[in-house]
Amino acid sequence: MNKKLLLGDEAIAIGAINAGLSGVYAYPGTPSTEITEFIQKKAPEIRSRWCTNEKTAMEAALGMSYAGKRALVCMKHVGMNVCADAFVNSAITGVNGGLVVLAADDPSMHSSQNEQDSRFYGKFALLPIFEPSGQQECYDMIGEAFALSEELKVPVLFRVVTRLAHSRAAVEIREKKEQNAFNPSSGKGWVLLPGIARKQYCALLDKQEAMLDAAEKSEHNKLEYSSKADAQGIIACGIAYNYVKENNPDANILKVSQYPLPESKVIELASRSESILVVEDGQPVVEQDVKAILGSDYPVEGRLTGKLPRTGELTPDSVAEALGIELSEGLQQGKNLAPRPPQLCPGCGHRDVYKALKEVAAEYPGSRIFGDIGCYTLGALPPFQSLNSTVDMGASITMAKGAADAGLFPAIAVIGDSTFTHSGMTGLLDAVNDNSNITVIISDNLTTGMTGGQDSAGTNKFEAICIGLGVDPEHVKVVVPVPANMEAITKTIREEIEYKGVSVIIPRRECMQTLKRKKK
Amino acid sequence: MKKDIILCGVGGQGILSIATVIGEAATKTGLKLKQAEVHGMSQRGGDVQSNLRLSTEEIFSDLIPKGKADIIISMEPMECLRYLPYLSPEGIVVTSSKPFVNIPDYPEESALLDELKSLPHLEMRSLENNMTLLGMAAKHIGIISAEELRDAIARVFSAKGDEIVERNQKAFDEGFNN
């Protein structure tokens, strides 16, 4: 037996490799990044270069599936928003080679701006969803997801949460399957003209019964009855199963790891119980469904009724409370304790950018700085406190544009190099076409820093991209953000603020983390 | 038999390396293991922790419930205070006494050390090496012997060469023998 100590993410990666994967398509995002990194390290024969964003990743994976090969798309939960157009429509086209879309949700927002639940996307697109409870299931179920995808000819959504993605346990590794043969589809269903799309949509609806049947039969959706159990039945989804078992190994449980929700098993559990508690990490997706299945007279509790906290990830303690189990008493909380938020690394170029920006912004009382997603979002915290907004990938440029349209001056956008190519370029084109009076700072550290230093899609191309999009070459300026250049940098920022139109300043210096790694 | 351990410190102090060594030793000895780590934003100089659960029986939760941890192993004296509600009243704190000050409102050092000394079970020394800390903690881990941990260091660091292995084992011995 071949056992390995693996993160949930790594178990997914090996599981996919051993399922005959031909390509992984992804943009880095915590907590999903390690899947693609692992495949890059361990399986060079698999196509694995980072993509520009989740939408390009999703579409390229669909293309590989079209050609008959197995493809995996990986992203953090908010990446689902970026690729939603391609994802939802891939359900309509269907697939040829197996296609698995992996979404790593981040309840409690450890490294995210919201805690949306990707299962809603799966339901919305009418697709099967897999939600493993542990590392072994991560490995086992990824192969099953590819098989189901090819059997039903639909993409499968694979959902994990931070605590599973970033937790290690021993995983038994099984045999490796060969990659699919090259076998491009000759089907007509890929051309989603209305006439064809209507037929394809009906075909997708026709597959719903088979999806439900697969979930009803799945060995990962199991009912556990105990002679010692009480009158309350528990539906435990994904990782929530572990927290229930930790607290009460003898509970009557329906473990759910594959959707659509196995209705007949829900009804069976309800018939043996007097009430149901739904324990799920994320948003109350299943709780709503169970209420709909069992009707308003049957008592169902969960996050919606306040039995479990409405926000944040589940913990063994919050589940214990919901089960009416008394918590163990630990020591008193320490007194000499201060919060220690993350911060920009010592010597980081973003620090010099914010120092210069802060100085210049103080000269313009009406100024606002629109931020973006990355390490430099930490510029919102002390000592800089420079950012007035951070919303989603690319929003710095477009929000600055909209605010400038409304009369705000100076409207400044701060965006990182990788975020700019991910979702900033199109917004910059809007601003150029409208001759918006904005100053865009592309803080270029030559990498995707926040997630640990993955290749950045636009490295060495930023001046050309900006000029190509129509920014006046006179107003595309590159500076080197080091303390010795502070005077030159602040001068450049002042000049470009005063220029009435789109200007781009590119402070460029390598990330301290990648630099340190190279020196080792 | 089980041992629930919280490893903590500041991003960049080598917390995950300690976890890796214990994990390697536990796997080799056939123990069951779950180890929740912190990746991502917090690793940039923020507080980091790892929940490490070792047992001869099946382990369900990746996270340690409140009041159930047997040991807090901390690279930084203030950081261990963050997790006291998770420590069982019989549990021990093994920590470095050397503050890592990267925040403006870091508590007064003498008050902090006094609070630590008032804990029921404490082992504290001024140290900077994560393997020395592991050596100190080895006396309390119990479910894995010090020799097994020492061997695991060799396997974990073997790719980096003999010199790095020896240096780390020496640091471990320094923690274990003193």
The three-state (H, E, C) secondary structure of A271-308, written as one string = HHCCEEEEECCCCCHHHHHHHHHHCCCCCEECCCCCCC
pLDDT at B38: 85
Other C-beta atoms lying within 10 Å of the C-beta of residue B128: 13
Q: What are the Cα distances from residue B18, in Å, to A77, B6, B40, B149, B162?
A: 30, 11, 18, 10, 19
Q: How many helices (H) and strands (E) does chain B have?
A: 5, 6
The minimal CB distance from A338 to the residues B11, B63, B106 is found for B106
End-to-end distance of chain A based on CA atoms, in angstroms?
36
Q: A175: exposed, middle or buried (C-beta count within 10 Å: 0-12, 13-18, 19+)?
A: exposed
In this prediction, residue A470 carries a pLDDT of 98
Structure tokens at A388: 């007035």
Burial degree of B122 (CB within 10 A; 0-12, 13-18, 19+): middle
Contact B38 A338 (CB under 8 A): no
Please give the pLDDT value at position A1: 63
Q: Percent of chain A having pLDDT more than 70?
A: 100
Chain B residues with CB inside 8 Å of A333's CB? 81, 84-85
Dump pLDDT digits (tens) for A220-239: 999 999 888 779 999 999 99
pLDDT digits (tens, 9 = 90+) for A176-196: 999 999 999 999 999 999 999
Give me the residues of A, 422-451, that contact B with CB < 8 A.
Answer: 450-451
- Distance, in Å, from the CA atom of A73 to the CA atom of A62, rounded to the nearest integer, reads 9
| Structure token pair of residue A516 | 């340190």
CA–CA distances in Å: residue A158 to residues A132, A259, A293, A501, B59: 8, 10, 24, 45, 24
The reply to whether residue A340 touches residue B81, judged by beta carbons under 8 angstroms, is no
Answer yes or no: is pLDDT of B8 > 70: yes
Q: Which amino acid is at A168?
A: R
Confidence of residue B39 (pLDDT cuts 50, 70, 90): confident
The pLDDT score that the predictor gives to residue B12 is 86
Rounded CA-CA distance A280/A286 in Å is 7
Strand-pairing partners, residue A278, are A235
CB nearest to B61's CB, from A3, A246, A335: A246
pLDDT, tens only, B108-151:
999 999 999 999 999 999 999 999 999 999 999 999 999 999 99
Of the candidates B36, B82, B85, which has its C-beta nearest A167's C-beta?
B36
- Are the C-beta atoms of A104 and A137 separated by less than 8 Å? no
CA distance A110 to chain B (A): 8
Among candidates A484, A509, A496, which has minimal Cα distance to A364? A496
Return the residue in A336, A512, A520 with the most chain B beta carbons within 10 A, the one to mutate for interface testing.
A336
Chain B: give the shortest CA distance to residue A135, in Å. Answer: 10
Whether the complex's predicted ipTM surpasses the cut of 0.90: yes
Best B39, B55, B68 member to test A by mutation, with max A CBs in 10 Å, is B39
A316 neighbourhood in chain B, CB within 8 Å: 61, 63-65
Q: Which residue of B has its CA nearest to A106?
A: B40
* Residue A103 · residue A75 · CB < 8 Å: yes
Tell me if A345 and B45 make a contact (CB, 8 A cut-off). yes
Nearest-Cα residue of chain A relative to residue B24: A5
The predicted structure's pLDDT at residue B58:
96
Which of B:111-170 have CB within 8 Å of A?
111-112, 115, 119-120
Q: Does A520 touch chain B (CB under 8 A)?
A: no
A245–B contact, CB cutoff 8 A: yes
CA atoms within 13 A on the CB side of B4: 20
Question: Which chain A positions have a beta carbon within 8 Å of B71's beta carbon?
Answer: none
Please check whether residue B68 touches A, CB under 8 A. Answer: yes
pLDDT tens figures, A342-399: 999 999 999 999 999 999 999 999 999 999 999 999 999 989 999 999 999 999 999 9
Of B10, B44, B87, the CB nearest to A331: B87
Position B41 pLDDT exceeds 80:
no
Q: What is the pLDDT of residue A229?
A: 73
Q: Measured between beta carbons, which residues in chain A are less than 8 angstroms from residue B44? A: 342-345, 375, 378
Which helix or strand (DSSP H or E) is residue B148 part of? helix B146-157
Closest-CA residue to A393 (of A369, A374, A375, A412): A374
How confident is the model over A490-508, as a mean pLDDT? Answer: 98
A378 touches B: beta carbon within 8 Å: yes
- Residue-level pLDDT at A162: 97
Q: Which residue out of A340, A343, A345 would a mutagenesis test of the B interface target, given it has the greatest number of B Cβ atoms within 10 Å?
A: A340
Best A331, A332, A378 member to test B by mutation, with max B CBs in 10 Å, is A331
| Whether B46 contacts chain A with CB within 8 A | yes
The pLDDT value given to residue B43:
76
Q: What is the overall mean pLDDT for chain A?
A: 97
**Number of inter-chain CB pairs under 8 A, A vs B:** 163
Cite the DSSP H helix spans in A312-460: 316-322, 349-361, 395-405, 417-419, 425-433
| Nearest-neighbour CA in chain B from A29: distance (Å) | 9
Taking only the tens place, the pLDDT of each residue in A430-483 is: 999 999 999 999 999 999 999 999 999 999 999 999 999 999 999 999 999 999
How far apart CA A313 and CA A329 sit, in angstroms, is 21
- Chain A positions in Cβ-Cβ contact with residue B66 (cut-off 8 Å): 317, 327-330
Residue A424 has pLDDT above 90, yes or no: yes
If we measure between CA atoms, which residue out of A187, A209, A189, A186 comes closest to residue A199? A189
Chain B CB contacts of A331 below 8 Å: 84-85, 87, 89, 91, 119-120
